[in-house]
A = this chain, B = another copy of it.
């Protein structure tokens, strides 16, 4: 999903993204002194986006926070899309650029994933930015660089490594998104996760009394994992505690997969991990 970044004059976008942080101080041009700066606008926009749902991020809202009219922003930034690209890369500077390799790649990947997860939860709007045509700013590149460096330790061939990088990103993004949206929904509607699920379960019973026969496996899974978080502890919500376990376990499974693939590969045999081959045609109509 994704909201798309700017499309107007990519050269200008890239220049803005990669501009040295404190550049362009000396002023010689005529005209009134600039009261704003690209940096200030990006910062304000991040604050607005962090404060609520993505839809709240409007040019008007950002300008208001800076005491200007929305049109004043267009002096500094080509449009909303480009602003989003700048915000996107800027916040990525929060993430570590290096992980200690001494503890082994598993520990490093685990730390990387945890940091990224926490980062997405701090800035959920980042998850709205499309990653098909990446922003290609320096800070996101650094995050990718860190993970790539860690994974080269595994000795996996480059093509497999690329796949693993993708899988890890998608996993962390997906998990974080679930939690972020859940939080958002809770504050937006005033209904907690638990209340929501309880009420929904009740409705399901009414509207689909044959649920247990139609979906036996789902019911079984629900039964066997239920009641674990019913202790009513404070702090994180019902769903979030479950999500944390899901994250940890899922990540562990992925790491096991990397380890196993590594073992299969390193003898110098086929560069492909084992398992059934996959071909792109779906079987559905």
Q: Which residues of A line the B interface, CB within 8 A? A: 1-2, 4, 7, 10-11, 14-15, 17-18, 54, 94-96, 106-107, 110-111, 113-119, 127-128, 130-133, 136, 138, 141-142, 144-145, 148-149, 152, 157-164, 166-167, 169-171, 173-175, 177-182, 184-185, 188-189, 196, 199-200, 203-204, 207-208, 214-218, 220-221, 224-225, 228, 244-261, 264, 272-285
Q: Is B283 a contact partner of A217 (Cβ separation < 8 A)?
A: no
CB distance from A123 to the nearest CB of B (A): 11
**Also in contact, A95 and B225, with CB within 8 A (given A132-B178, A178-B131, A207-B18):** no
In the complex, residue of chain B having the shortest beta-carbon distance to the beta carbon of A1? B1
Q: Is A167 a contact partner of B250 (Cβ separation < 8 A)?
A: yes
Contact residues of A: prevailing secondary structure: helix
Contacts of A260 in B (CB 8 A): 256-257, 259-260
In the complex, residue of chain B having the shortest beta-carbon distance to the beta carbon of A120? B282
Q: Is B114 a contact partner of A204 (Cβ separation < 8 A)?
A: no
Q: How far is the CA of A178 from the CA of B173 in the complex (A)?
A: 12
**Also in contact, A278 and B114, with CB within 8 A (given A163-B250, A252-B261):** yes
